[in-house]
A and B are shown apart, each in its own frame.
Chain A
């Protein structure tokens, strides 16, 4: 019974990984068409499940979209406010990587996003231990 449940769980994770990979390919094609706003919106939709592999696969797609952004202010102007909290979570994930280019880009986005969304956004993104990225 427990083994049947485990195999269902791992199948579920495989399905989700496949969906995340498809999403990643969609993000790449949007970036190639210079549609950065659509790319970031696609990347930010939906929280990844608690599985570490899914989170990592999801982070790779979001990272590509974040690094492709040149005009941060323009991106934030056209982004819906409902995406601010989840974007802040990904920004903090980017800041924890330690990679110079990622951290530079994340610090730029963090500054503009804090100006736009305020300190509440930071607190909500850090305090949410249930929907982590």
Chain B
């Protein structure tokens, strides 16, 4: 009985050690403000992105836009509802996703997302500035 208990205990520790050795993380930074964290585990992968936010306006726009996307995470399937602490958006890709969806298309989607996100936020910022200028011009016409 005692040998069995010791055997079970050692098996548990070996299993935990195995899981920990499979779990690893890679941090890739473009600069101080933009980074990507990839965390692996036994059957899934978590990719977290921190997008460029040069000023306060971009900060607010990025937060609102990415929150909008995260709220509709079911539609994306691979998106996480809540980003990882310290990042703006997170993807969670499990083994089920790899079976149902094409891996290459999945990779293309994430790469395309990263390329487009900066463009989207710049366009949003430009449209906010344009509308602000128009509103200010119209308002000041009366004076």
A binding-site residues for B, Cβ under 8 Å = 92, 95-100, 103-104, 107, 126, 129
Contact = CB atoms under 8 A, between A and B. Distances in A.
Nearest to A94: B29
B26 A92 contact: yes
Interface stretch (B6-14, B30-38, B64-72, B125-133): B30-38
Interface residues of B, number: 10
Contacts of B28: 92, 95-96
A95 B21 contact: no
B110 interface: no
B26 A126 contact: yes
Contacts, number: 26
For the residues of A in contact with B, the DSSP-based class is helix
Contacts of A103: 29-31
Contacts of B75: none
Contacts of B135: none
Contact of B27 (A95, A100, A129): A95
Interface of B: 21, 24, 26-32, 35
A71 B85 CA distance: 39
B31 A98 contact: yes
Given A92-B28, A103-B29, A107-B30, A98 B21 contact: no
Kindly list the 8 A-B residue pairs having the minimum CB-CB distance in the complex, ordered from nearest: A98-B29, A96-B27, A100-B31, A95-B28, A103-B29, A98-B32, A103-B30, A129-B21
A27 to B, nearest CB: 24
A129 B31 contact: no
21 contacts: A92-B26, A92-B28, A95-B27, A95-B29, A96-B26, A96-B28, A96-B29, A98-B29, A98-B31, A98-B32, A98-B35, A100-B32, A103-B29, A103-B30, A103-B31, A104-B31, A107-B30, A126-B24, A126-B26, A129-B21, A129-B24
